[in-house]
């Protein structure tokens, strides 16, 4: 592995490249598309990459794109990943380049992630500085957690050799341009559950004649609050949230049916298995005590994102050169949010990096998934610089030495 050079190189990203990335982002922001409908977004990015000289393959996993660029004769390869999809949110940011599609908005910064990737692609195509192959993975449907799996199932890693993969996600509340990562778990897995309670409804004036599904559901919700506190090892991390409770009751009618929905977050598959078992046991026990029936549906939506240690070391060297040691943390705490980068990281050594979007509300600090969220264009150069340095660092080691 090469020794790190004095940083940062963010200022070395040509202004013309940053300007192009900003223009690309604004164009993409105007045409948001939700999961698996990202046809215009994918076509836009594919056209840019084709013009830059990349070999572009479209339609992978639906609307996914892979673009490749090879320099020299090395058989090494490195992948960079960005997302294509937007959220079903009506934009209220007030920016002049706002969404032109009612009910859809880039409220998570995927337009910024993609623009940084295109900027790095331009820089790598123009300046080179590496031997091997760069693969740009443009993934659909990250928000519902299905896009990475769709690309893998469509032969992503069978069709395109990728020795190591990097991704960036912006984080509001973190100082602009700062980079954070860590070895091991960095983002949680997300599981969803649905608990359906069936009782015996009736008139509100005669509760002694019914099995009140609402009361049963309420007791289940309260009982589930003890699962993490009393079933999960205190040194592990887990969240269990009941997020909705609905019935078929009326003002003067006790319901027959009640439905609880919610989700859990954890970093360890064993904890996920424990949470599912305890949810089923608690719901079943409470329902039985009241003479009600219950069914539980439990699905695993997002795998935990677990960073490969060697890839984090490469990312650390790259980030130090890109933004400087004073804006880098390679032992950052994990977060309970989820990302389907974890699916990709389960197939190849990979590292997800967080990029600070800013702390002030007017400069990148509005939370993700908010109608007034705005990606901070001032961090484009940091992302571009990191991606370039990650490629150079990954491909600079002699072929006979494992990275």
Kindly report the CATH number assigned to the domain that includes residue 260.
Answer: 3.30.70.360
Q: Is 1 a member of any domain?
A: no
For residue 253, give the 3-state DSSP assignment. strand
Residue 77 CA to residue 157 CA, distance in Å, equals 12
Asked if residue 341 is part of any domain, the answer here is: yes
Active-site option among 33, 83, 85, 219: 85
108 is in an annotated binding site: yes
Query: Measuring CA to CA, which residue among 214, 192, 210 is closest to residue 200?
Result: 210
pLDDT band at 361 (very low <50, low <70, confident <90, very high): confident
- 205 and 253 together in one domain: yes
Rounded Cα–Cα distance for residues 214 and 288 (Å): 14
d(CA 400, CA 403): 9
| 85 carries an active-site annotation | yes
* Contact by Cβ (8 Å): 125, 52: yes
Residue 398 has pLDDT above 70, yes or no: no
**288-313 pLDDT tens trace:** 999 999 999 999 999 999 999 999 99
Residue where a domain terminates, one of 259, 287, 302 = 302
The model scores a pTM over 0.85: yes
Same-domain status, 220 and 132:
no
Co-location of 54 and 173 in the same domain: yes
pLDDT of residue 401: 41
Domain boundary among 273, 302, 331: 302
Domain boundary among 302, 336, 370: 302
Is 245 inside any structural domain? yes
Is residue 126 a known part of a binding site? Answer: no
For tokens 């900027």, the residue is 119
DSSP 95: -
The single residue listed with the structure tokens 């015996």 is 200
| Same-domain pairing of 129 and 260 | no
**196 with 337, same domain?**
no
Residue 26 annotated as lining a ligand binding site: no
Domain that holds residue 141: 10-187+304-395
- CATH number for 67: 3.40.630.10
401 belongs to a structural domain: no
Set 83, 91, 142, 389: catalytic member: 142
């Amino acid at each position: 592995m090469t020794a790190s050079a004095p940083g940062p190189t963010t200022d070395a990203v040509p202004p013309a490249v940053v300007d192009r990335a900003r223009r690309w982002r604004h164009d993409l922001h105007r045409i948001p598309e939700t999961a698996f409908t990202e046809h215009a977004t994918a076509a836009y990015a594919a056209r840019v990459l084709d013009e830059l000289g990349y070999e572009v393959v479209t339609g992978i996993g639906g609307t996914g794109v892979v673009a490749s660029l090879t320099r020299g004769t090395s058989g090494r390869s490195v992948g960079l990943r960005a997302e294509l999809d937007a959220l079903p949110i009506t934009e209220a940011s007030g920016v002049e380049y706002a969404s032109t599609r009612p009910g859809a908005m880039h409220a998570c910064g995927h337009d910024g992630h993609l623009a940084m990737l295109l900027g790095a692609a331009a820089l790598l195509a123009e300046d080179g500085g590496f031997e091997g192959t760069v693969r740009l993975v443009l993934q659909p449907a990250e928000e519902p957690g299905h896009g990475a799996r769709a690309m893998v199932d469509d032969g992503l890693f069978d069709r395109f050799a990728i020795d190591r993969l990097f991704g960036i996600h912006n984080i509001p509340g973190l100082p602009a341009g700062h980079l954070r990562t860590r070895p091991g778990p960095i983002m949680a897995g997300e599981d969803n559950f649905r608990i359906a309670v069936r009782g015996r409804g009736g008139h509100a004036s005669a509760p002694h004649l019914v099995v009140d599904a609402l009361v049963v559901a309420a007791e289940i919700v309260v009982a589930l609050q003890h699962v993490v506190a009393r079933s999960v090892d205190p040194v592990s991390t887990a969240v269990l949230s009941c997020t909705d409770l609905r019935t078929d009751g009326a003002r003067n009618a006790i319901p027959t049916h009640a439905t609880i929905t919610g989700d859990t977050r954890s970093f360890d598959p064993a904890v996920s298995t424990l949470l599912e078992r305890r949810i089923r046991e608690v719901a079943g026990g409470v329902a039985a005590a009241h003479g009600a029936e219950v069914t539980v549906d439990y699905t695993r939506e997002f795998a935990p994102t677990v960073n490969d240690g060697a890839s984090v070391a490469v990312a650390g060297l790259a980030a130090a050169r890109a933004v400087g040691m004073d804006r880098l943390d390679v032992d950052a705490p994990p977060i309970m949010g989820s990302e389907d980068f974890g699916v990709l990281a389960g197939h190849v050594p990979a590292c997800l990096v967080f990029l600070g979007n800013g702390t002030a509300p007017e400069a990148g600090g509005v939370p993700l998934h908010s109608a007034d969220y705005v990606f901070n264009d001032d961090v484009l150069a940091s992302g571009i610089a990191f991606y370039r340095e990650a490629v150079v660092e990954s491909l600079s080691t002699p072929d006979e030495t494992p990275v």
